[in-house]
Amino acid sequence: MDKTVTIVVERLIRHSLYGKYIRRSTKLHAHDEDNSCQLGDWVAVEECRPMSKIKSWRLVKIIERAAE
């Protein structure tokens, strides 16, 4: 998909009964107008109007570039 990036947001949640921390992740599809993101970049996104069936986030800035 042109001008689209897939972002993985990971978080830790605590199991209610056992107390163990579990890693959960969510995939977001965001609009990248300039196609400037590369694999492994840390980015900031914000929610926007739906641009397609699966894309309702927009790339704000690239916080840290991936090591090449």
pLDDT band at residue 67, thresholds of 50, 70 and 90? confident
Residue with tokens 């929610």: 47
pTM given for the model: 0.82
Question: Is the separation of the CB atoms in 18 and 54 below 8 Å?
Answer: no
β-pairing, 4-14 vs 42-47, is unpaired
pLDDT band at residue 68, thresholds of 50, 70 and 90? confident
Domains with residue ranges and CATH for the chain: 4-64 (2.40.50.140)
- Tens of pLDDT along 18-63? 999 999 999 999 999 999 999 999 999 999 999 999 999 999 999 9
